Amino acid sequence: MTKPLRIGVAGLGVVGTSLARLLHRQANALAMRAEGPVVLAAYSARSPRPERPEIAAARFWGDAVELAAKADVDVFVELIGGAGGVALAAVKAALGRGLPVVTANKAMLAAHGLELAALSEAHGAPLFYEAAVGGGIPVIKTLRESLAGNAIRRVSGILNGTCNYILSKMETERLPFDVCLAEAQRHGYAEADPTFDVGGFDTAHKLAILASLAFGSKIDAEAVSVEGIESITLDDLVAADELGYRIKLLGVAERTAHGVEQRVHPTMVGKGAPLAQTMGVLNAVSIDGDAVGELTLVGPGAGGDATASAVAADLVDVARGVRLPVFGRPAALLSDADRVPMQRHEGGYYVRLTVVDRPGAMGAIAARFGDRMISLEAIMQKRATKEWAEAGVVPVVLMTHGTTEASIRDALARTLEEGVVREKPQVIRIERDGV
């Protein structure tokens, strides 16, 4: 019988526990796929867990770095999380001794991916990370292997289930943001401090990884322009619905005339697009390649079982002896990531304005937009509520044809200076193609 593949797991939280159960439950199937048994031989956690049958035979280590550096294992699995600290030290220790590493840690890869790729190559130790982006969706394998014959033009996706849940619930149940956020926290979809998710930073880390694989660039999370969903109101979702769109938090990396744009922001997506139809906590990624065209992968983006599924797939690759450059090509051949300013972005825009109810106000707005050569596709004036009427303002929604970010921002700044608009305008980018 083939020698067992001995696994050392650092971290027995939700994902680590799910992985241990999966290895126990699917032992026979994994043994056939990996051409030998896959066994949990060692683990680190805050305390030993001998009462769990799937863990009882594994050796407990109180220190994850020591496990990575000394344990008698064939592969090290990092499920601690965090960009640095113990997780990073443990991964570096494992790679340094030539151990293959499997991780689900997108924050660590976004911050230290290039360093880890170089360390992986120097010691001949493969680094796998399917679970870091999209949970159970096999997007890393798709970009790194299945689409190797394509020139990728664009990658876009819903990469955070918390935000997608909140926006879906706001739309379908006509509830405000704070109510839906509280519901997400009750269900465990959002942390007590949800900033990392709703602020778009989690999506930005994942997008930086996908952009590196898609365009052969060094991971650079600082190259990603980031906006969260905190400013999205029920009024915006209702207006989007009436106009034939849904609002999604998208991560988009695409090749443009100015370089590769990397951006995360709320986006108006046509209801017929696959990403618009991805609701609840699901994730989805659309990839546009020159040979294959556009394909979309949809599935659970988080959760113990889905993430453990991706980790197990990487473990089977390790057992089969798969060896791939971490980001699809040798680290020395990765190019510097383009840092394209958001002001250069070109596309359509949804703009919601609180317009002063006086003669000539709309004319002044139209003039400022005309000065910047912005063509309006649609104007929708909402019926003013009693509160709006008492305040002397009227809510107006504008939809533009293609223009630049710089132009739209300049036109809106001028309307504010002239006093015809109160409050900060709401601006949401429109994705009409490629999603």
Taking the C-alpha atoms of residue 337 and residue 215, their distance in angstroms, rounded to an integer, is: 9
Domain with CATH 3.30.360.10 in the chain: 139-300
**Which helix (H) or strand (E) covers residue 251, if one does?**
strand 245-256
Specify the fold of 139-300: Dihydrodipicolinate Reductase; domain 2 (3.30.360)
User: Which residues, other chains included, contact 343 with Cβ-Cβ below 8 Å and sequence gap of 6+?
Assistant: 404, 405, 406, 409
Q: What is the pLDDT of residue 434?
A: 45
422, β-bridge pairs:
354
Q: What is the pLDDT of residue 384?
A: 67
Domain with CATH 3.40.50.720 in the chain: 5-132
Q: Among the residues of 304-391, which ranges form H helices?
A: 304-319, 361-371, 386-391
**Which helix (H) or strand (E) covers residue 253, if one does?**
strand 245-256
Structure tokens at 416: 């504010």
Catalytic site positions: 206
Taking the C-alpha atoms of residue 231 and residue 229, their distance in angstroms, rounded to an integer, is: 6
Q: What is the pLDDT of residue 308?
A: 96
Q: What is the pLDDT of residue 393?
A: 83
275 phi/psi in degrees, rounded to 5: -65, -35
3-state class (DSSP) for residue 335: strand
Residues of 408-433 as b/e, b for ≥16 C-beta within 10 angstroms?
A: bbebbebbeeeebbeeebbbbbbbee
Domain with CATH 3.30.70.260 in the chain: 344-431
3-state class (DSSP) for residue 397: strand
Where does 344-431 sit in CATH, by number? 3.30.70.260
pTM here is 0.94
Contact 164, 278 (CB under 8 A): yes
Specify the residue for token string 């060896």.
323
The predicted-structure confidence for 95-112, as pLDDT tens digits, reads as follows 999 999 999 999 999 999
Q: Which amino acid does the sequence have at 365?
A: I
Q: In 10 A of CB 90, how many CB atoms?
A: 26
Taking the C-alpha atoms of residue 192 and residue 300, their distance in angstroms, rounded to an integer, is: 22
Taking the C-alpha atoms of residue 159 and residue 285, their distance in angstroms, rounded to an integer, is: 7
Taking the C-alpha atoms of residue 291 and residue 418, their distance in angstroms, rounded to an integer, is: 50
Q: Among the residues of 7-84, which ranges form H helices?
A: 14-25, 27-33, 64-70
**Which helix (H) or strand (E) covers residue 399, if one does?**
strand 393-400
Taking the C-alpha atoms of residue 86 and residue 45, their distance in angstroms, rounded to an integer, is: 12
DSSP string, 69-81: HH-S-SEEEE---
- The class (CATH top level) of 5-132 is alpha beta
Q: In 10 A of CB 247, how many CB atoms?
A: 23
The predicted-structure confidence for 269-287, as pLDDT tens digits, reads as follows 999 999 999 999 999 999 9
Low-confidence stretches of the chain (pLDDT < 50) are 1, 434-435
Q: In 10 A of CB 215, how many CB atoms?
A: 22
